[in-house]
Amino acid sequence: MYKREQTRPVKIGKLTIGNGNLVRVQSMTQTRTHDVAATVKQIHELEKVDCEIVRVTVPDMESAKAIKAIKKQIKIPLVADIHFQYLLAIEAAKQGVDKVRINPGNIGGIDRVKEVVKACRQKNIPIRIGVNMGSLEKDLYAKYGKYGVPRVMMESATRHVQILESLKFYNIVVSLKGDNSMIAREAYMLFAKRFNYPLHVGITEAGTLWAGSIKSAVGIGSILSSGIGDTIRVSIADDPKEQVKVGWEILKSLGLRQKGVEIIACPTCGRTEINLIGLAKKVEEIVSKVDAPIKVAVMGCVVNGPGEASFADIGVCGGKNQGAIFKKGKLIKTLKEEELLPVFIEEIKQVLIEKGYGGEVKKLKNA
- Please list every residue from 195 through 214 that binds a copy of itself, using CB under 8 A: 204-208, 210-214
**CA angle, 51 as apex, 66 and 223 as ends, to 5°?**
115
3-state secondary structure (DSSP) of residue 77:
coil
Residue 273 assigned to a binding site? no
Look at strands 200-201 and 231-233 and give their pairing: parallel
The nearest distance, CB 243 to a copy of itself, in angstroms, is 7
- Please list every residue from 138 through 167 that binds a copy of itself, using CB under 8 A: 147, 150
The nearest distance, CB 124 to a copy of itself, in angstroms, is 26
Q: Judged by CB under 8 A, which of 157, 299, 302, 352 binds a copy of itself?
A: 299
Judged by beta carbon, residue 171 or residue 243, the one nearer a copy of itself is 243
The nearest distance, CB 352 to a copy of itself, in angstroms, is 19
- Please list every residue from 39 through 68 that binds a copy of itself, using CB under 8 A: 39, 56-57, 59, 63
C-beta pairs of 165-168 under 8 Å, 24+ apart in sequence:
166/110, 167/113, 167/114, 167/117
Distance CA 140, CA 20 (A): 32
Give the distance between the most distant pair of CA atoms in the chain: 76
Residue 51 assigned to a binding site? no
Q: Judged by CB under 8 A, which of 15, 36, 274, 309 binds a copy of itself?
A: 309
**55 and 29 Cβ atoms separated by less than 8 Å:** yes
**CA angle, 78 as apex, 185 and 289 as ends, to 5°?**
80
Q: Is 33 in the site for a copy of itself (CB under 8 A)?
A: yes
Residue 308 assigned to a binding site? yes
Stretch that binds a copy of itself, among 27-35, 110-118, 319-327, 350-358 (CB under 8 A): 27-35
Distance CA 79, CA 167 (A): 22
Q: Judged by CB under 8 A, which of 97, 217, 314, 341 binds a copy of itself?
A: 217
Judged by beta carbon, residue 255 or residue 356, the one nearer a copy of itself is 255
Residues constituting the chain: 367
- Please list every residue from 237 through 276 that binds a copy of itself, using CB under 8 A: 237-240, 243, 246, 249-250, 253-255, 262-272, 276
Q: Is 29 in the site for a copy of itself (CB under 8 A)?
A: yes
Dihedral sign for Cα atoms in the order 47, 132, 100, 39? negative
Q: Is 226 in the site for a copy of itself (CB under 8 A)?
A: yes
Distance CA 333, CA 342 (A): 13
Q: Judged by CB under 8 A, which of 16, 19, 21, 31 binds a copy of itself?
A: 31
Distance CA 168, CA 97 (A): 21
- Please list every residue from 322 through 361 that binds a copy of itself, using CB under 8 A: none
3-state secondary structure (DSSP) of residue 78:
strand
Binding residues for [4Fe-4S] cluster: 266, 269, 301, 308
Binding residues: 266, 269, 301, 308
